[in-house]
Chain A
Amino acid sequence: MKTNLLPAVKLTVLALIILCVIYPATIWGIAQFVPNKGKGETVLKNGKVVGYKRIGQKFTQDKYFNSRPSAVAYNAAGSAGSNKGPSNPDYLIEVQARIDTFLVHNPTVNKADIPAELVTASGSGLDPNLSPDGAKIQIARIAKIRNLSVDDLNKLVDDHTEKPFLGPQVVNVLEINLAVEKLRAFGPRASSFRATGFRASSLKQ
């Protein structure tokens, strides 16, 4: 013990310098070259921060694409899943309630078409994404409220679908909701010209 203690103390001090000062400083140095210098990518609206690109936000109003259920109500000061077991009776009642609520808000939707992610909570409680199906199933509701054409909205979802190599396709909920607000600003006709007329023809060529 004695023969080892002094070398152990000295080695620990030096290891602390390398691993806890030099190494993090190096990584921090690299961070200065990434978007927003490693402080997290923010999303702006009219020059004001309205969210973080990677952090999901609570969207429950009918005029927006709704985000998934969350065990922490999208409070990004913390993070957690529901940790409910698959056979937990209380949990299954909760899922049933989510299905019923969704059908009330989306009366034209067939229950069998609801993607599972819309009635289950994510692991982090901050899931920023929906699947393309999860977004498209909400289009009828949003089109009605915002007085937009279904085609425009379908196009919008397709444009906002990220397709990572071999990974699942995802739609960033915050970004698509910002885009939906812009569509509205053009008015139904203008947006239909912009989205279907202009872009579809350019795609065909």
Chain B
Amino acid sequence: MNSQLLAVALTFLTTILLAIPFGKYIAKIYGGQKTLLDPIFTPIEKLIFRFSGINASKQMNWKQHLKAMLTINFLWFFLGMFLLMNQGWLPFNPDGNPSMSPDLAFNTAISFLINCNLQHYSGETGMSYFIQIFFVTFLQFVSAATGLALAAMIFKSLSPKKQEDKDAENENKIGYLRGLGNFYNYFLKSCTRILLPLSVVVAAILLFNGTPMNTEGKDQFTSLEGDTVNVSRGPAAAMIAIKHIGTNGGGYFGANSAHPLENPNFLTNTVEIIAQMIIPLAMIFALGYFINRKKLSWMIFSVMTIGFLLLTIPTILTEIGGNPAISRMGINQSAGAMEGKEVRFGTPASAYWSIATTVISTGSVNAMHDSTMPLSGMMQMLAMMTNAFYGGCGVGILNFYIYIIIAVFISGLMVGRTPEFMGKKVEAREVKIAMIVALFHPFLILVGTALASYGIMNIKDIAWLNNPGFHGFSEMLYEYTSSAANNGSGFEGLGDNTPWWNISTGIVLIMGRFIPIIGPLAIAGLLANKKEIPESAGTLKTDTSTFGLMIFAVIFLITALSFFPALTLGPIAEYFTLYK
């Protein structure tokens, strides 16, 4: 057990050590500087832009970014719906899986479009190989690249105005909005230079450890005991790589990364967990390199890491402790709580994964969260409820940005000064947007759970839940939390392929993605156009540990006040029934 704990600690350290240089690389890419892969990708990118009629050096303001992003996302949504509802007759369907029902297709199309990957189907029976590649893999790349491109725009908005910005501003004062880079340029480079190279590396490691990448359908054999067994396979390695690199998390197989072909051994488990954390961590450092304020990066990193450890450590300890109910039966729990876990990963690595996957928005699992202990379940939910520690590909920075704005505002009030961030005044409009975004998250989760609970209590024929009592409530709470946080993991016992869950979580998914994107974009756009105030002795310093503490307090207060009552009804109540 000790060596497994050491493995977890080393995994985390390795991730950080890889993320720092990778962050520098990302900053260079968005800054248009020379990098190693230029000879390969520059000509390809030029060709793509020429064919698409895009001028990649044209500067776009924040509204143009938003329009370009929404248009292309709209297009992908219709493409996705079409593919899912017609997979039955489309090619590469060796297992003969049927087309999806409209409500399931709606939920699935949205869920992959927005980088959530909530899955109300099971990969083996619900998707053809064609869909796994042209729908799933495609959206896993482009949805991650969308988040990264928008984060790049935020980076740009935080960098000081250049002389040409000031000149342009003076020329046409009224209604001028500052150019903040080009969306298509950021988007394509995120795909080709960040996501693709990493995915190839991860996919190759998976292949050599036993993950399949084939086009033949199910195989059949007779087992040693004489049973006839079918084995699902398919083009899995390519998809599983980007599933983690892009913090998507949608499994190729139903059991996600608990499946022995999706995650064959302890080494691949380590690689997959590093793969899903590397970009969110690297983005924090990329910000520091991009705007040349490394201290700010370290402040953000520290706040996030403290939050992450506060969630991770109790979870690992709880899971190692095992299930007290089984312990009372006289069974030794020295291996920890093994229900829903795989022997080859063990409890510490599974517990670590369960928090990593929920703080960042991956949502892939290597153990079943529904079967974890009540406190672990609560930590997993809290990770998604705060939704600000590391976060998904690009959007993690966007979420955290909201908390920075609120913390700047509150600190400003406390010391009696006009709040400023990066030399720009933060005023009523920005704070209103930030508050709406911050409070919309608990609103979506709590209203959704309340409606579903009402349904359970008052409509007789409903049988969604796999577990009775407090744990059943947790299943519903988890589903909406996961949807609003765009996470995609689940307490999978919930019978969620019904019109109610498909449509209601579908709506929560859209709002949970686009409101936290539009809000920070608008704030960043508004701030970018304000006059720069030179730094003085009266400026509130935002890269200090005091300010870091302030941000942490804001996150804690918003989360605790919003969610504590709901958590009491679910995991906390279950805890007291279990640990008598």
Name A's B-contacting residues (CB within 8 A). Answer: 1, 4-12, 14-16, 18-20, 23-24, 26-28, 30-31, 34-35, 37-42, 45, 48-61, 64, 68, 74-89, 91-92, 95-96, 99, 111-117, 119-131, 134, 164-168, 170, 174, 177-178, 181
- Decide: A84 near B370, CB < 8 A? Known: A12-B79, A57-B229, A126-B260: yes
Between-chain CB contacts (< 8 Å), 25 pairs: A27-B238, A28-B235, A31-B213, A38-B213, A38-B237, A39-B233, A52-B261, A64-B225, A75-B230, A77-B124, A77-B218, A77-B231, A80-B492, A83-B492, A84-B466, A84-B467, A85-B574, A88-B468, A123-B255, A126-B259, A127-B343, A129-B343, A166-B3, A167-B346, A168-B344
Q: Which of A78, A123, A178 contacts B258 (CB 8 A)?
A: A123
CB-defined contacts of A122 to chain B, threshold 8 Å: 258, 340-343
CB-defined contacts of B492 to chain A, threshold 8 Å: 80-81, 83
Q: Is the CB of A79 within 8 A of B259?
A: yes
Q: Which of B54, B467, B577 contacts A7 (CB 8 A)?
A: B54
Q: Is the CB of B213 within 8 A of A59?
A: no
| Bound-state Cα–Cα, A102 to B195, Å | 49
Q: Which of B79, B255, B370, B371 contacts A125 (CB 8 A)?
A: B255
CB-defined contacts of A30 to chain B, threshold 8 Å: 203-204, 207, 213
Q: Is the CB of A14 within 8 A of B48?
A: yes
B191, B229, B367 — which one has the most chain A CB atoms within 10 A of its CB?
B229
CB-defined contacts of B366 to chain A, threshold 8 Å: 123
- Decide: A76 near B213, CB < 8 A? Known: A86-B325, A87-B577, A127-B260: no
Q: Mark B366-384, 1 if CB is under 8 A from A, else 0.
A: 1110111110000000000
CB-defined contacts of B51 to chain A, threshold 8 Å: 10, 14
Minimal beta-carbon separation of B64 from chain A (angstroms): 9
Q: Give residues of chain B (325-343) contacting chain A, Cβ–Cβ below 8 Å.
A: 325-326, 329-343
Counting from the closest, the 6 A-B pairs by CB-CB distance are: A167-B266, A123-B258, A83-B493, A85-B471, A81-B368, A166-B7
| Bound-state Cα–Cα, A137 to B208, Å | 33
Minimal beta-carbon separation of A54 from chain B (angstroms): 4
Name B's A-contacting residues (CB within 8 A). Answer: 3-4, 6-7, 10, 48, 51-54, 67-68, 71-72, 75-76, 79, 122, 124-125, 133-134, 137-138, 141-142, 184, 188, 191-192, 196, 199-200, 203-204, 207-208, 210-216, 218-219, 221-225, 227, 229-233, 235, 237-238, 241, 253-255, 258-261, 264-267, 269, 322-323, 325-326, 329-346, 349, 365-368, 370-374, 466-472, 474, 491-493, 574, 577-578
Nearest A residue (CB) for B261: A54
CB-defined contacts of A77 to chain B, threshold 8 Å: 124-125, 218, 230-232
Nearest A residue (CB) for B578: A87
Q: Is the CB of B138 within 8 A of A16?
A: yes
| Bound-state Cα–Cα, A75 to B71, Å | 43
Minimal beta-carbon separation of B278 from chain A (angstroms): 19
CB-defined contacts of A39 to chain B, threshold 8 Å: 212, 214, 216, 219, 233
Q: Is the CB of B333 within 8 A of A124?
A: no
Nearest A residue (CB) for B95: A77
Q: Which of B71, B223, B233, B237 contacts A58 (CB 8 A)?
A: B223
Q: Is the CB of B75 within 8 A of A5?
A: yes
Q: Is the CB of A168 within 8 A of B346?
A: yes
Nearest B residue (CB) for A131: B343
Having A27-B200, A88-B468, A167-B265, one finds 19 other A-B pairs with CB under 8 Å, namely A7-B54, A11-B72, A24-B235, A31-B213, A40-B212, A50-B222, A51-B224, A54-B261, A58-B223, A75-B230, A81-B371, A83-B467, A87-B469, A113-B332, A116-B326, A117-B343, A166-B6, A167-B266, A168-B4
CB-defined contacts of B254 to chain A, threshold 8 Å: 78-80
Q: Is the CB of A123 within 8 A of B75?
A: no
- Decide: A12 near B225, CB < 8 A? Known: A123-B340, A166-B3: no
Minimal beta-carbon separation of B80 from chain A (angstroms): 11
Q: Is the CB of B255 within 8 A of A126?
A: yes
CB-defined contacts of B6 to chain A, threshold 8 Å: 166
Nearest B residue (CB) for A60: B225
Minimal beta-carbon separation of B525 from chain A (angstroms): 17
| Bound-state Cα–Cα, A64 to B323, Å | 28
Minimal beta-carbon separation of B227 from chain A (angstroms): 6
Q: Is the CB of B326 within 8 A of A31?
A: no
Nearest B residue (CB) for A29: B213
Q: Is the CB of A14 within 8 A of B52?
A: yes
Q: Is the CB of A8 within 8 A of B229?
A: no
Nearest A residue (CB) for B468: A88
| Bound-state Cα–Cα, A50 to B6, Å | 37
Minimal beta-carbon separation of A165 from chain B (angstroms): 8
Minimal beta-carbon separation of A102 from chain B (angstroms): 10
Q: Is the CB of A96 within 8 A of B329?
A: yes
Nearest B residue (CB) for A78: B124
CB-defined contacts of B255 to chain A, threshold 8 Å: 79-81, 123-126
CB-defined contacts of B260 to chain A, threshold 8 Å: 54-56, 124, 126-128
Nearest B residue (CB) for A39: B214
Minimal beta-carbon separation of A11 from chain B (angstroms): 5
Q: Is the CB of A20 within 8 A of B133?
A: yes
Q: Is the CB of B331 within 8 A of A19?
A: no
CB-defined contacts of A20 to chain B, threshold 8 Å: 133-134, 137-138
CB-defined contacts of B343 to chain A, threshold 8 Å: 68, 117, 122, 127, 129-131, 134, 168, 170
CB-defined contacts of B334 to chain A, threshold 8 Å: 116
- Decide: A23 near B370, CB < 8 A? Known: A10-B52, A84-B467: no
Q: Is the CB of A6 within 8 A of B53?
A: yes
- Decide: A34 near B208, CB < 8 A? Known: A64-B224, A96-B329: yes
Q: Is the CB of B335 within 8 A of A9?
A: no
Q: Is the CB of B137 within 8 A of A8?
A: no
| Bound-state Cα–Cα, A111 to B188, Å | 60
Q: Is the CB of A111 within 8 A of B208?
A: no
Q: Is the CB of A99 within 8 A of B329?
A: yes
Minimal beta-carbon separation of A73 from chain B (angstroms): 9
A14, A51, A80, A119 — which one has the most chain B CB atoms within 10 A of its CB?
A80
Q: Which of A42, A60, A84, A174 contacts B493 (CB 8 A)?
A: A84
Q: Which of A14, A50, A131 contacts B221 (CB 8 A)?
A: A50
Q: Which of B137, B211, B224 contacts A174 (CB 8 A)?
A: B224
CB-defined contacts of A165 to chain B, threshold 8 Å: 7, 266-267
- Decide: A79 near B253, CB < 8 A? Known: A4-B72, A86-B371: yes
| Bound-state Cα–Cα, A41 to B264, Å | 11
Q: Is the CB of A86 within 8 A of B373?
A: yes
Q: Is the CB of A74 within 8 A of B229?
A: yes
Q: Is the CB of A10 within 8 A of B53?
A: yes
